[in-house]
Amino acid sequence: MIEKVQNFNKSDKKLVEMLVNTDDIQIRHIMLPKGEFMPKHISNSNVNLVIVGGEMEIILEDQNPANYEKGTILGIPFNTKMLIKNENSEMLEFFVLKAPHPKKLGAPEEAIKC
């Protein structure tokens, strides 16, 4: 078998799971019920957020909140303050793709909370 298979979970509660953590990329799967959020942090790589369910509210740097629905991919540059919330949907589900791997940028593997 040449391919590597990675399954992801479903939940009705907050879920944050690391799916892939190689030298080249990190991929996380996140599910946030209504009212939940990811703590404000600084992106430790170039980040792509792939929204597959619900609606995401995101605040970047000191900008006003913006809302994006499923079917959207958001590109966030390295070293950007970000806060992700689910204020409007029963469940927000998205994938976080970090490339290159943070260590290739001299950053910690986990984003720095602020």
CATH code, domain with 22: 2.60.120.10
* Number of domains the chain contains: 1
Record the tokens describing residue 60, joined without a space: 């970047």
pLDDT at 102 over 90: yes
pLDDT at 110 over 90: no
Judge whether 32 lies within some domain: yes
**Which one, of 69, 74, 81, lies nearest residue 50 by Cα?**
74
Judge whether 40 lies within some domain: yes
Judge whether 28 lies within some domain: yes
pLDDT for 37-61, tens place per residue?
A: 999 999 999 999 999 999 999 999 9
**Which one, of 76, 111, 91, lies nearest residue 32 by Cα?**
91
Match 């944050």 to its residue by tokens. Answer: 16
Contact 27, 41 (CB under 8 A): no
The domain in which residue 21 lies consists of: 15-113
Judge whether 3 lies within some domain: no
What is the value of pTM for the model shown? Answer: 0.94
Judge whether 4 lies within some domain: no
Contact 82, 41 (CB under 8 A): yes
Contact 9, 20 (CB under 8 A): no
